């Protein structure tokens, strides 16, 4: 099963890299598999350090901003305890991990990870259709380089109806950030 989450790693200068990732997990969450592209900062950090932190969160604005790397300010963090890294202070729960195997023979790598520590900060808020719509829009935003504009816009229109009907303020703002980013991506690269 794919669990949508956020992974933090450390950049070479020690600053946090915050990226949405959908690892393959099982219900025990003692191990999981990440599949980042080799061009991603997460791949580069994990290849260099071999450790990071996976977060489960219901903060879709965080996921949206991480997907397009547009933070007004970085979210609050605190140091991880078992790995060199940071934990997002507003996550629901987190899993500190070490890479046990990294196979980068293909552009999309396969990184097997072992959980070495975990923690819980707060309860998961619950299901909301708008949160899921924002998550899907964030995924679309990361694919503007290879999806046709008409296809993305059609899907955004469908998702916008869900957001209009069921969103709170956080979901509205996150969806707006993503739609602006997507529009700008196709203006910048009209072949997309």
Residue 191 has pLDDT above 80, yes or no: no
Q: Is residue 192 over pLDDT 90?
A: no
Q: Is the pLDDT of residue 33 over 70?
A: yes
Rounded average pLDDT over 17-39: 96
Going along the chain from its start, the domains and CATH numbers come out as 5-120 (2.30.110.10), 129-188 (1.20.58.290)
pTM of the model: 0.90
| Residue 24, pLDDT score | 98
Where residue 29 falls among pLDDT bands split at 50, 70, 90? very high
pLDDT tens digits, 104-133: 999 899 999 999 999 999 999 888 999 999
pLDDT for res 190: 57
Mean pLDDT of 70-75: 94
Find the mean pLDDT for residues 51-63.
97
Average pLDDT across the chain, whole number: 95
Report residue 58: phi and psi, to 5°: -105, 10
């Amino acid at each position: 099963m794919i669990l949508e989450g956020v992974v933090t790693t450390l950049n070479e200068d020690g600053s946090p890299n915050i990226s949405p990732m959908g690892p393959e997990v099982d219900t025990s969450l003692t191990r999981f598999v990440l599949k980042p592209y080799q061009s991603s900062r997460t791949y580069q950090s994990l290849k260099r350090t071999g450790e990071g932190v996976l977060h489960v969160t219901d903060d879709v604005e965080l996921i949206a901003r991480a997907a397009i790397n547009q933070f007004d300010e970085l979210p609050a963090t605190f140091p991880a305890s078992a790995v060199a890294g940071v934990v997002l202070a507003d996550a629901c729960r987190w899993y500190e991990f070490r890479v046990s195997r990294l196979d980068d023979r293909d552009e999309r790598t396969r990184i097997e990870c072992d959980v070495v520590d975990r923690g819980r900060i707060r309860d998961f808020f619950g299901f909301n259709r708008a949160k899921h719509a924002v998550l899907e829009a964030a995924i679309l935003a990361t694919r503007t380089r290879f999806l046709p504009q008409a296809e993305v816009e059609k899907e955004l229109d469908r998702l916008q109806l869900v957001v209009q009907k069921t969103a709170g303020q956080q979901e509205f703002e996150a969806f707006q950030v993503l739609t602006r980013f997507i529009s700008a991506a196709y203006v910048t690269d009209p072949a997309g």
